[in-house]
């Protein structure tokens, strides 16, 4: 099966990595819209425009199913996009909420983007919210192991308060799991793991991974190589 995955940048690779690990016999086509990064502070009209272009591109590349590997687009546009396109579309929020409810998890907080929090998508399962504006730029700039990143994590954890579980409500955030766990005993919920647990894409074929980004840089190439540990082809594509 040809599986299309998209995000605003490299964060969606955390979802792709789980899919490849659990379903290694598929063709994966990824699009990271690094030219328009970040999505978390964009208007709804902008998000709609980006999502439409991303999905149409993946369909043109032969995708048979689309995974929205972006918390912001998932929380604000999933229902609309699901009804708009004649192709199965999977978001990252629904599987995460399902996981929380099925396991009766309580005292759950979330780190997310401003637009995800504003959408109210997690209101039924989360008691504490923190908008983490600094995380995506730190990750995309390769500053995960910097003092600046540690300070941001410590500040956001203090703002969140004591939670038994923390949803990493942007697909970039699992890349900060080690840093967060250094300063917190909370159990982290990775949306990519939840998607991979519930998705049904089969596992028959041959592994192929093609990564497209709307803007490539040396730092991005380095970051990608640290996340995806299988062979892949990488290209620049401006939509």
Fold: same for 2-92+194-236 and 94-191: yes
- Angle at CA of residue 140, ends 234 and 120, nearest 5°: 110
Gyration radius of the chain's alpha carbons: 17
**Catalytic machinery residues:** 70, 170
- Does residue 163 register a pLDDT over 90? yes
Between CA 27 and CA 9 the distance in angstroms is: 20
Q: Return the CATH number of 94-191, one of 3.40.50.1860, 3.30.70.240, 3.30.70.1170, 3.90.1150.10.
A: 3.40.50.1860
Instruction: Supply the pLDDT for residue 200.
Output: 84
Write the CATH number of the domain with boundaries 2-92+194-236: 3.40.50.1860
- The string of pLDDT tens digits covering residues 58-94 is 999 999 999 999 999 999 999 999 999 999 999 999 9
Q: Assign 124 a pLDDT band (cuts: 50, 70, 90).
A: very high
- Does residue 193 register a pLDDT over 90? yes
Between CA 33 and CA 10 the distance in angstroms is: 9
Between CA 44 and CA 113 the distance in angstroms is: 13
Domain boundaries of the chain, sorted by first residue: 2-92+194-236, 94-191
Between CA 42 and CA 1 the distance in angstroms is: 32
Instruction: Supply the pLDDT for residue 231.
Output: 97
Q: Which is more confidently placed, 41 or 26? A: 26
User: What value does the mean pLDDT take over residues 140-159?
Assistant: 96
pTM of the model: 0.93
User: What value does the mean pLDDT take over residues 25-35?
Assistant: 97
């Amino acid at each position: 099966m040809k599986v299309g995955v998209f995000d605003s940048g490299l964060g969606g690779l955390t979802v792709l990595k789980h899919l490849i690990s659990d379903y290694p016999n598929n063709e994966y086509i990824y699009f990271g819209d690094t030219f328009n990064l970040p999505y978390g502070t964009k208007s709804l009209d902008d998000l709609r425009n980006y999502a439409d272009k991303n999905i149409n591109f993946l369909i043109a590349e032969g995708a048979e199913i689309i995974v929205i590997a972006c918390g912001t687009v998932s929380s604000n546009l999933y229902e609309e996009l699901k009804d708009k396109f004649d192709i199965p579309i999977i978001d990252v929020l629904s599987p995460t909420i399902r996981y929380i409810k099925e396991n009766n998890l309580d005292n759950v907080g979330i780190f997310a983007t401003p637009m995800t929090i504003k959408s109210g998508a997690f209101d039924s399962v989360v008691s504490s919210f923190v908008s983490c504006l600094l995380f995506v730029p730190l990750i995309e700039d390769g500053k995960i192991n910097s003092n600046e990143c540690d300070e941001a994590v410590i500040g956001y954890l203090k703002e969140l308060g004591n939670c038994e579980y923390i949803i990493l409500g942007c697909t970039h955030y699992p890349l900060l799991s080690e840093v967060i766990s250094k300063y917190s005993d909370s159990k982290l919920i990775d949306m990519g793991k939840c998607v991979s647990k519930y998705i049904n894409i089969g596992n028959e074929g041959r592994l192929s991974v093609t990564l497209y980004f709307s803007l490539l840089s040396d730092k991005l190439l380095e970051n990608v190589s640290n996340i995806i540990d299988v062979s892949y082809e990488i290209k620049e594509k401006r939509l």
